[in-house]
Structure 1
């Protein structure tokens, strides 16, 4: 989203016009930004056989999945329902990596029946696969490398105390189970978390996987997960994708030479592909001056964007109704009956009632983590593609909140019980 003489625009489309057309609060996504990020990844890893597997949990709208498929990106899913949505978007089952975390064996069976690529993250699951399918189902193995790097501890997944993956210290147990049941191991996977600033974390993980690969002669791919850091505010350090591509590609090519043949190099970006494309547009309800600070209360809350409260995440905020107004300091809060602060003591152009604000970098883990807490409707979603805004999800209605509820008529039930007695 860029500020021009005509106001804030996405692909030349006036953002305030989008707000007027579809109402607020509203998630708006820029398809061009997604395509740009895909292109950057591809150009940075041009010397290897790269496969990009979009981590669908970041933003699972089927139209977004269809855009990914149109761009030649495949998919990573963490639930069978995500995979089914991917198939609805046109992905073939074999294009979908299924990486569960402690799910039931029934869900694993569904994934196998669908034909997904199963990524095993525990020894009990590996043994169950062997006992159930023998050598008929190929797997990849998710390794916990005991690498403690990255951002917020809630999104750090590669340290020794993480629930994710099979500890590298259990290497011999993994190999023993694979050999006992003749399980075809076709891939090795690592995902150590998010917000890595440089290539070092990936290179450390690479050393672990390259060494482990000597146990498995029939690999097809090595999967480095993701964790690329994006900028949430001016001056933020971000992952240098070009530098990362050069260093990891070089290490991977040397590994393939030693391994004896070329393998596929997989990455599973989620936030990197969709974070910057997303904008949550909200309306200012009131501006409330207290002795200690001035509050801006908007028609949204942690039910629509939970990252600030859950991860202490910073989101840039733009006053797109009054971008050139005099600067004041505000604390921006939501309408939930609970503390739901988006920003504390944030300098913004003067905010007035009915002004439209935009929370930036809201594409990843924004709508996908929404809820109907306080019986609030979830926002609509819009995708700007080829300079046109398209509605890709309708706003919730009361019928959506009530769907699935079975309402007891207590008066009728009481009468029946009295008559039966």
Structure 2
């Protein structure tokens, strides 16, 4: 099929051609879409000293990290290995914010040795850092503001029962530890969840940090996390970034005047920057009729895209091979020996065996949450950059599946 005849294209490159070149299933990312989102966020907060810290957990491929570094974006990581990948991609250690969640103190020591900005998420960690390093390691403090906001309960992180951050009710205990060990506090951090539709959750969180800042005269930044809502289907409400930027910037500027000097305002977008850039391309294996529905079985499953099963997430589906076909209802399912439903009773152009389907909004938490369940390999990844598709991760092979398994000779003995 010629490129100009393909309805679904990325930077003018036909998706079917990409599938033909690299095979299926396949993750494909559009670099232009990532750059567009970076520029949108910057323009929305043009009135403040903004630092964008990309949440690497959303999509940690080194080529994606390099693209974001090229755009002047810094990094937010939740593991030392994410930080190491960031360093390989060219980030300086001081550009990387490290926000652990109950990790071992050994990993904390690794992070400090690497020179990362440590974001403390518990009183136990704060005391450990104080005992071990005294005033030698500047930290930021992650606060749990007891704000229940943001989408599915599984992605709400700021409510009173959440494991994340230090409860705002422990304000006095935080201050006492900081003073006891003379710990330099250079930042305050808050992240209350995801899928916020308006500025109210950010402003409520900001008020908590603004009040807490009175305890710490040497702050350099405030980090408001992320949680920007993106569209998963037509008509979805999304975060109005222009309105959010205007309201939060005004509130932050007023705080800085009261505080006595200008601080940096940090955000940690992950999904906002990469969700819409990605598509998971799959091939239809079998159409299976039963009395209540028609199943479309594809050559993928929850091992490659777990979000529909984990979060009830919606992903638009495009029939790339037959976009003008007659609309019919299908339930799209995977090939895994578990219930792995991508979509139920979804209206799609007629699907035929061999048709290529694209699951949209698959850039964030798609490949990164993939597994080799059922001993099936993970897909390859391709980035379309300046009109050219580039392989940025090879497809798993059978050798990859068994690479770290150890053959125990005694088990080779024949028994009767």
Same fold, judged at TM 0.5 (above): yes
1:419 aligned partner = none
2:68 aligned partner = 68
> Which whole-Å CA distance do the structure 2 matches of 1:143 and 1:83 have between them?
22
Deviation at 1:404, TM superposition (A): 1.1
2:391 aligned partner = 391
1:229 aligned partner = 229
CA offsets 1:278-337 (integer angstroms, 9 cap, x no match) = 000000001111110000000000000000000000000000100000000000000000
Is residue 2:341 matched to residue 1:362?
no
CA offsets 1:130-161 (integer angstroms, 9 cap, x no match) = 00000000000000000001100111000000
The 5-angstrom pairing of residues 207-356 of structure 1 reads 207-356=207-356
From the superposition, tell whether residues 414 and 182 of structure 1 become closer, same or farther in structure 2 (CA, over 3 Å): farther
Deviation at 1:6, TM superposition (A): 3.4
CA offsets 1:252-274 (integer angstroms, 9 cap, x no match) = 00000000000000000000000
The 5-angstrom pairing of residues 185-224 of structure 1 reads 185-224=185-224
Aligned residue for 2:124, secondary structure, equals helix
- Asked if structure 1 preserves the Cα contact closer than 8 Å seen for 2:139 and 2:186, the reply is yes
Q: List alignment gaps of at least 5 residues for structure 2.
A: none
The 5-angstrom pairing of residues 44-193 of structure 1 reads 44-193=44-193
> Which whole-Å CA distance do the structure 2 matches of 1:136 and 1:331 have between them?
58
- Asked if structure 1 preserves the Cα contact closer than 8 Å seen for 2:6 and 2:16, the reply is no
Deviation at 1:397, TM superposition (A): 0.3
Deviation at 1:223, TM superposition (A): 0.1
2:381 aligned partner = 381
> Which whole-Å CA distance do the structure 2 matches of 1:130 and 1:411 have between them?
50
> Which whole-Å CA distance do the structure 2 matches of 1:337 and 1:296 have between them?
15
Structure 1 runs of 4+ aligned residues shifted over 4 Å read: 411-415
RMSD: 1.1
> Which whole-Å CA distance do the structure 2 matches of 1:403 and 1:70 have between them?
34
Q: List alignment gaps of at least 5 residues for structure 1.
A: 416-421
From the superposition, tell whether residues 414 and 299 of structure 1 become closer, same or farther in structure 2 (CA, over 3 Å): closer
- The two structures have a TM-score, normalised by structure 2, of 0.98
Aligned length: 413
Aligned residue for 1:7, secondary structure, equals coil
Deviation at 1:7, TM superposition (A): 2.0
> Which whole-Å CA distance do the structure 1 matches of 2:183 and 2:144 have between them?
20
- Asked if structure 1 preserves the Cα contact closer than 8 Å seen for 2:6 and 2:15, the reply is no
> Which whole-Å CA distance do the structure 1 matches of 2:189 and 2:303 have between them?
33
Deviation at 1:412, TM superposition (A): 5.5
> Which whole-Å CA distance do the structure 1 matches of 2:76 and 2:6 have between them?
39
CA offsets 1:312-369 (integer angstroms, 9 cap, x no match) = 0000000010000000000000000010000000000000000000000000000000
> Which whole-Å CA distance do the structure 2 matches of 1:255 and 1:248 have between them?
10
